[in-house]
Amino acid sequence: MSLKLKELSKKEELLTGGHRMCAGCGAPTIVRQILAASEKPLVAANATGCLEVSTSIFPYTAWKIPWMHSAFENAAATISGIEAMYKSLKRQGKLDREMKFIAFGGDGGTYDIGFQSLSGAMERGHDIVYVCYDNGAYMNTGIQRSSATPLGANTTTSPAGSVIPGKTQARKNLTKIMVAHNIPYVAQASPSNWRDLMSKARKAINVDGPAFLNVIAPCNRGWRTPTNNAIELCKLAIDSCYWPIYEYENGKLTVNYKPKEKIPVVEFLKGQGRFKHLFSPENEGILKQIQADVDREWDSLLKEESFHESDKS
């Protein structure tokens, strides 16, 4: 099935309405797009977090696929075990159905306490897809900072005030760390560019071996934003190149979206209450640092893509 809206609209929703995710949350939109993109039956594991607790409040579930709740730190290990069991059953002739295995985790359970199981699953080469919905903090447990939290962001464990001006460290580049695992497919995406996200999800699901998707997921509670502008924020993130969207296929980089006019990163930051304090005169240097970091990463991506293109020729 192609990625045409008319055809996609006829597919069954595999994540039902009526779940308890916050109004305006980016995560369920991401999950619905990814599940709709798959042409194969899916089995999912879900790390403890916003998505898990809000879609599986006993005795109900919003999932219409086989789904397993994992601890905060081991979704990748759980889905690896399920995939290994599936392969064993196929070798024994007890199962002949084709299916694919996918894990969902937030940035806290992916960048931080789940990184060991994620890295291990990627290194071992399991035929799985891991999706990180990146909202930039431990939102489910009280908006604590994670290593995905941007420089300067106000969280409950990096509170902006007289002691510190929000988080004092830059965010970790987990997408590039996954590239360093030399796996077949790694991509960064945004639900605002739905066709790009769904195309990447389909590639990830169809690849033979491990794949990783990192998707920006606005959180109005943690970002201190209205409930109706998640997609608008995603557009600002990619147009400012704060969240560039790109993919690595067998180590070769393609930048999938290049804004016609790259906007200043403050256009993405200024609508979010978590960055409100940065617009005070004493924090001007932090805004400049954030812009410099964004510019440096964007220029690096373009240079790397150009190198890959010249290498092909």
Give the C-alpha distances (Å, rounded to integers) separating 6 from 10, 31, 185, 202: 7, 19, 28, 18
Give the C-alpha distances (Å, rounded to integers) separating 36 from 60, 132, 198: 21, 17, 8
Residues 6+ apart with CB under 8 A from 212: 118, 122, 129, 130, 131, 132, 175, 178, 183, 185, 186, 187, 204
Strands of 144-193 (E only): list them: 185-189
Residue 7 domain-assigned (yes or no): no
CA 22 – CA 103 distance, rounded (Å): 21
CA 222 – CA 229 distance, rounded (Å): 14
Task: Write out the residue range of the structural domain in which residue 73 sits.
Answer: 13-312
- From 30, 42, 44, select the one nearest 75 (Cα to Cα): 44
Chain-centre distance of CA 71, in angstroms? 18
Number of domains in the chain: 1
Residue 228 domain-assigned (yes or no): yes
CA 290 – CA 54 distance, rounded (Å): 33
Q: What is the pLDDT along the chain (313 residues), one digit of tens a residue?
A: 467 888 888 889 999 988 999 999 999 999 999 999 999 999 999 999 999 999 999 999 999 999 999 999 999 999 999 999 999 999 999 999 999 999 999 999 999 999 999 999 999 999 999 999 999 999 999 999 999 999 999 999 999 999 999 999 999 999 999 999 999 999 999 999 999 999 999 999 999 999 999 999 999 999 999 999 999 999 999 999 999 999 999 999 999 999 999 999 999 999 999 999 999 999 999 999 999 999 999 999 999 999 877 766 5
DSSP 262-304: PPPTHHHHTT-GGGGGGGSGGGHHHHHHHHHHHHHHHHHHHHH
pTM of the model: 0.96
Residue 2 domain-assigned (yes or no): no
For residue 24, the domain's CATH number is 3.40.50.970
Tokens (6 digits) for 151:
């420089």
Residue 90 domain-assigned (yes or no): yes
Residue 249 domain-assigned (yes or no): yes
The helix or strand, by DSSP H or E, that contains position 8, with its residue range, turns out to be helix 5-8
Helices 194-206 and 27-37: crossing angle in degrees, nearest 10, is 50
- The amino acid sitting at 82 is I
Chain-centre distance of CA 210, in angstroms? 16
- From 181, 7, 31, select the one nearest 104 (Cα to Cα): 31
Residue 138 domain-assigned (yes or no): yes
Residue 133 domain-assigned (yes or no): yes
Residue 234 domain-assigned (yes or no): yes
